[in-house]
Amino acid sequence: MHALSHKYSKYLEVLGCEDRVKILELLSVREMCVQEIQSHFYASQATVSYHLGLLKEVGFLKTVKTGKFIYYSLDNVNIKSYLKGFVKDFSLCLTKA
């Protein structure tokens, strides 16, 4: 089971933060820049950027630079792939128990 926990621990750590989940919810509606996302939080731009960086690092977000702004959107392919793999692997662990 150690291999499974190692494989998904970073994803689960990132999803374990309510603010990051809220960011994913916001981006499920449309792409946004940091300033737009920040307007939904009582947090600094640096804090929101930190959360966005973690979400991008695990592959949940993609970016497009337009002029001086970077727009964030969900990387649906990576998110779906992660969820399918997690459900499959976790289900296998349960059947072995």
Residues in the chain: 97
| Structure tokens, 23 | 């960011």
| Structure tokens, 40 | 């939904």
Q: Could you report the average pLDDT of every consecutive run of 10 residues in the chain (97 residues)?
A: 70 92 94 96 94 95 95 92 84 75
Q: What is the pLDDT of residue 81?
A: 86
Using DSSP's 3-state secondary structure scheme, residue 97 falls into coil
Q: What is the pLDDT of residue 55?
A: 96
What CA–CA distance (Å, rounded) separates 97 from 66?
Answer: 50
Sorted by where each starts, the structural domains of the chain and their CATH numbers stand as 2-96 (1.10.10.10)
Q: What is the pLDDT of residue 97?
A: 58
Strands of 61-66's sheet in order across: 32-33, 69-74, 61-66
Q: What is the pLDDT of residue 2?
A: 57
